[in-house]
Amino acid sequence: MRTLIVNGTVVTADGSYQADVLVDGETIAAVGTGLAATVTADETIDATGKYVIPGGIDVHTHMELPFGGTFAKDTFETGSRAAAFGGTTTIVDFAVQSKGQALRTGLDTWYAKAEGNAVIDYGFHMIMSDVNDATLAEMDQLVAEGVPDFKLFTAYPGVFYSPDDHIFRAMQQTTRNGGLILMHAENGPAIDAVAADLVAEGKTDPYYHGVARYPVFEGEATNRVIRLAEAAHAPVYIVHLSVVDALNQVRAARDRGSMAFAETCPQYLFLSIDDLGNGFNGAKFVCSPPLREKNPNWQELWTGLRKNDLQVVSTDHCPFDFHGQKELGRGDFRKIPNGLPGVEDRVDLLFNGGVLGGQITKERWVEIISTEPAKLFGMYPKKGAIVAGADADIVVYDPERKRTISADTHHMNADYSCYEGWEIQGASDVVMSRGSVVVRNGEFTGRKGHGKFIKRATTDYARMV
Based on the fold, state whether residues 123 and 258 are members of the same structural domain: yes
Strands 56-61 and 88-96: parallel
**DSSP label at 462?**
G
d(CA 156, CA 189): 8
Number of domains in the chain: 2
Q: Could you give phi then psi for residue 270, rounded to 5 degrees?
A: -125, -15
The answer to whether residue 155 sits within a structural domain is yes
pTM of the model: 0.98
Based on the fold, state whether residues 150 and 280 are members of the same structural domain: yes
CATH number at residue 22: 2.30.40.10
Q: Which residues of 139-164 are buried (b: 16+ CB within 10 A; e: fewer)?
A: beebbeeebbbbbbbbbbeeebbbee
Please say if the pLDDT value at position 68 is more than 90: no
Please say if the pLDDT value at position 366 is more than 90: yes
- Full residue range of the structural domain in which residue 202 is found: 55-381
Based on the fold, state whether residues 27 and 144 are members of the same structural domain: no
In the structure, what pLDDT confidence band is assigned to residue 235 with cuts at 50, 70 and 90? very high
pLDDT for position 381:
98
In the structure, what pLDDT confidence band is assigned to residue 415 with cuts at 50, 70 and 90? very high
Do 203 and 237 form a contact (C-beta atoms < 8 A)?
A: no
The answer to whether residue 451 sits within a structural domain is no
Closest C-alpha to 426, from 349, 314, 315? 349
Closest C-alpha to 394, from 362, 360, 428, 425? 428
Percentage above 70 pLDDT, the chain: 100
Q: Mind listing the pLDDT tens digit for each residue in 22-48?
A: 999 999 999 999 999 999 999 999 999
Cβ neighbors of 80 (< 8 A, separation 6 or more) are: 63, 91, 117, 118, 119, 120, 122, 451
* C-alpha distances in Å from residue 429, one per residue of 33, 77, 395, 398: 22, 21, 7, 6
Please say if the pLDDT value at position 428 is more than 90: yes
Determine whether 257 is exposed, middle or buried from the number of CB atoms within 10 Å of its CB (0-12, 13-18, 19+): exposed
Q: Mind listing the pLDDT tens digit for each residue in 112-148?
A: 999 999 999 999 999 999 999 999 999 999 999 999 9
- Reduce the DSSP state of residue 308 to 3 states and report it: coil
pLDDT for position 217:
98
The answer to whether residue 455 sits within a structural domain is no
Based on the fold, state whether residues 78 and 144 are members of the same structural domain: yes
Cross-strand pairs, 44: 4
Do 379 and 461 form a contact (C-beta atoms < 8 A)?
A: no
Please say if the pLDDT value at position 69 is more than 90: no
Looking at 311-405, list the stretches that DSSP marks H as alpha helix, in order from N- to C-terminal side.
346-350, 362-366, 372-376
Other Cβ atoms less than 10 A from the Cβ of 406: the count is 13
In the structure, what pLDDT confidence band is assigned to residue 224 with cuts at 50, 70 and 90? very high
